[in-house]
Amino acid sequence: MTDALPVPRRDHRGVFVSFEGGDGVGKSTQLSLLAEWLEQRGVEVVRTREPGGTTLGQALRDAVLHGEDVSPRTEALLYATDRAHHVASVVRPALERGAVVLTDRYLDSSVAYQGDGRALGTEEVERLSLWATEGLLPDLTVLLDLDPDVGLTRLSGAPDRLERAGAEFHRRTRRAYLDRAAAGGTRWLVLDAARPREEVQAAVRERVAVLLEQLGVPAVGSP
């Protein structure tokens, strides 16, 4: 494609934070710890995730992770459908009333997993998600980086379609995340997920405190 990417827009009072990284890196644990800390300080927090942050999203999650095998394009469209509905019905309304929205995965998952992992092209997949979300990008994206050989051994239960995609696929997605973060500027906070979880959380809180101050959300105090 030759057209420029759609321009991301920020037209809400709230704060949007996404957690990204490979499977088994501890995203949901870090998200919960951050949510508790913010809630204790009186901040309205909406915790959500992709895929599956809505009722329709649950059905899409089931289809994409546990359903029949689908082509890479179908997979990308299923994630984009989940995202479009999630943003329109959960994320934007919360941001408009001034909440802090914490999502376990967002658009960068599609860019890394479908754009690079499934080799659909990062720019095309990003364009699809920006169209689906009317250009909504997070204010902060926390990338928890870990060797996928370590991350995948932390998982329990039967592996889903993506977890079964193979070691090379997961190495590609890790590289895609790191490259994107390196080129993506101040939206990104990259943390070594092999560090103790308290240390990782302290770094997340420190950054979120600065962000809330910058965006004029009432001070949450020191981490």
Residues making contact with ligand TYD (CB under 6 A): 23, 49-51, 65, 79, 105, 109-110, 113-114, 160, 162-163
79/188 with CB nearer ligand TYD: 79
Cα–Cα distance measured from residue 200 to residue 144, given in angstroms and rounded to the nearest whole number: 9
Contact 146, 24 (CB under 8 A): yes
Cα–Cα distance measured from residue 189 to residue 20, given in angstroms and rounded to the nearest whole number: 10
Minimum distance of ligand TYD from residue 165's CB (angstroms): 8
162/212 with CB nearer ligand TYD: 162
108/139 with CB nearer ligand TYD: 108
Q: CA of 60: how far to CAs of 33, 51, 74, 180, 198, in Å?
A: 27, 7, 11, 26, 33
Q: Which residue has tokens 């649950």?
A: 58
Cα–Cα distance measured from residue 121 to residue 33, given in angstroms and rounded to the nearest whole number: 34
Minimum distance of ligand TYD from residue 50's CB (angstroms): 4
Minimum distance of ligand TYD from residue 175's CB (angstroms): 15
Minimum distance of ligand TYD from residue 68's CB (angstroms): 16
30/109 with CB nearer ligand TYD: 109
